[in-house]
Amino acid sequence: MRKLFVANWKMNNTRLSTKEYFRDFIPAYSQSSLRPEVEIVFAPAYPLLQTLGELIEDLPQVYLGAQNVHWLTNGAHTGEVSVAMLQELKVSRVIVGHSERRQYYGEHDKAVSLRALAAISAGMECIVCIGETTYFENQNAETESIIRGQLQASLAGLGTEHCSRLVLAYEPVWAIGSGRAATVEIISRIHLLIRTELMKMFGTQGQQVPILYGGSTNSKNIQEIISTPEVNGVLVGNASLNPAEFLQMITK
Ligand code: PGA
**pLDDT value for 135:** 82
Per-residue pLDDT of 69-120, as tens digits, reads 999 999 999 999 999 999 999 999 999 999 999 999 999 999 999 999 999 9
**pLDDT value for 139:** 65
| pLDDT of 14 above 90 | yes
| pLDDT of 212 above 70 | yes
Say if ligand 1 is within 6 A of residue 97 CB: no
Question: Residue 5 Cα, ligand 1 centroid: separation in angstroms?
Answer: 12
Q: What is the pTM of this model?
A: 0.97
**pLDDT value for 192:** 96
**pLDDT value for 134:** 85
**pLDDT value for 138:** 59
Nearest-CA residue for ligand 1 atom 7 is 237
Question: Residue 7 Cα, ligand 1 centroid: separation in angstroms?
Answer: 9
**pLDDT value for 137:** 66
d(CA 239, CA 236): 6
Q: Pocket of ligand 1, candidates 67, 102, 235, 242: which has the most ligand atoms within 8 Å of its Cβ, to mutate?
A: 235
**pLDDT value for 243:** 98
Distance from the first to the final alpha carbon of the chain = 17
d(CA 144, CA 77): 35
d(CA 120, CA 94): 9
Distances (CA, A) of 174 to 123, 135, 235: 32, 6, 15
**pLDDT value for 242:** 98
**pLDDT value for 136:** 73
Per-residue pLDDT of 153-194, as tens digits, reads 999 999 999 999 999 999 999 999 999 999 999 999 999 999
d(CA 192, CA 179): 24
Say if ligand 1 is within 6 A of residue 172 CB: no
Tell me the mean pLDDT in the region 212-225: 98
Phi, psi of 151 (to 5 degrees): -65, -50
d(CA 36, CA 20): 27
| pLDDT of 126 above 90 | yes
Per-residue pLDDT of 33-80, as tens digits, reads 899 999 999 999 999 999 999 999 999 999 999 999 999 999 999 999
Ligand 1 atom nearest the C-alpha of 169 is 9
Which amino acids are annotated catalytic?
98, 171
Residue 140: band (very low, low, confident or very high) from pLDDT cuts 50, 70, 90: confident
